[in-house]
Amino acid sequence: MRAVVVPSHGDSSAMEVTEVPDPVPGPGEVLVEVAASGVNFIDVYHREGRYPLPPPRVVGSEGAGTVSAVGDGVTDIVVGDRVGWVNILGSYAEKAVIPAARAIVLPGGVSPEVAAAVLLQGLTTHYLTHSTHEIRQGDDVLVHAAAGGMGLLLTQVAKLRGARVLGTVSTAEKEKLARAAGADEVFGYDGFAECVKDLTGSGVHVVYDGVGAATFEGSLASLRPRGLLALYGAASGPVPPFDLQRLNQAGGLFVTRPSLGWYTSTREELLARADELFGWVASGALKVHVSQRYPLEDVRRAHDDLEARRTTGKVLLIP
C-alpha cells in the first residue's frame, strides 16, 4: 500500500509517499480501508519532532474508512462497518490498523469523509466547551483563529451553549467565515486584548487559544478576574517559561494546557463525546467546513498550506 513516511524529522520535505507492506490486524485490532485522513497541527509537531516519535514512521493521527478485516477477540466491530478514529498514528495511508477499543462506529447519517473532518477537532471542541470550561448562558468567550477548523467548531458550539463569541482572524475573508459560524464580534490580532476589554468591560470568561506564543500575552490580558486561558495548541510556537505569580497579580487567573487524550481516557468517555458530536452533525446544528482536499501525493503542500494559514476549516488527505 501507499503511505506517507517520515524517515527523519524536519520540514514538509521530510515526508515521502512510498510503498510499504500492508498492515495486518493483531488481536483486538481492525484493518481499515482509509477513505480520508484529517490533517492537523499535531501531525506537523510529529513531523518536526516537537512531539518526539522515533522515525521512520507513517504519520497522521485521524481518519475514517471501512473495516476490511478484524483480529482475534474483536466482537463488537465487523467487516463492513464504517469507523473513525483519533490519536492513532499511521492514518496517512491507504490502510490502517486501529485498536478496536479506540474505533468509533459511524452512525448512518455521517460519512467517513465527514467523520475524518470532524472527529479530532470536534471531540476537542466538546471537551473544551463542556469540561475544561463548561460554557454557560451569557459567558463571554474569545476564540483565536476563529475561521480555522477548530475555530469554526468552537464558535458554533459556544453559541449552542449560549455564549457571546469574540473571534480573531487574519483576513477579511476569514472574518466572513467566522461571522457565518455565529461569531458576534470579529477583529484582527493587532491589539485584540484592547478590543476585548472595550467590548466586555472586564474581559472574557475563557480564551480558547490554539495559536500559542504569538497570542499568549494578549490572551491573558483578555481575561476577566478568575478567567481561564485554555491553551490547547501552539501553532505559532511554544509559550516561553512563565512566572505563575503573574496569574495572581492579574486577577487570580487560570491557565491550562489540555489535550484530547486526557478527556477520552476511557472508551465510555470517548463514545459519549462522539455520540453528542455526531448528533449535532446529523441534526445540522454543527456545520463541518472542509476547505481543501489533497491527494496523498500532495501531502507536503497540505502541510505547507496549513502552517502558512492559507487554509480555512478542515484539511483532508484522500488516499
- Residue 176, pLDDT score: 97
- What pLDDT was estimated at residue 313? 85
Q: What's the pLDDT tens digit per position in 106-156?
A: 999 899 999 999 999 999 999 999 999 999 999 999 999 999 999 999 999
Instruction: Give yes or no for residue 75 having a pLDDT over 90.
Output: yes
Average pLDDT over residues 193-211: 98
| pLDDT (mean) for 300-305 | 97
**Which cell numbers in the block locate residue 317?**
488527505
Q: Is the pTM of this model over 0.95?
A: no
Tell me if residue 140 falls in helix, strand or coil.
Answer: strand
Q: Which residues contact 171 (CB under 8 A, 6 or more apart)?
A: none
Q: Quick one: which of 187, 64, 208, 181 has its CA closest to 126? A: 208
- Between CA 188 and CA 180 the distance in angstroms is 16
Rounded mean pLDDT of the chain?
96
User: End-to-end distance of the chain based on CA atoms, in angstroms?
Assistant: 10
The pLDDT confidence band at residue 87, using thresholds 50, 70 and 90, is: very high
Nearby residues of 82 by Cβ (< 8 Å), 6 or more positions away: 64, 65, 66, 67, 105, 106, 112, 115
Helix (H), strand (E) at residue 217: helix 216-221
Predicted pLDDT of residue 286: 97
Residues in contact with 184: Cβ distance below 8 Å, sequence separation at least 6, in sequence order: 164, 165, 166
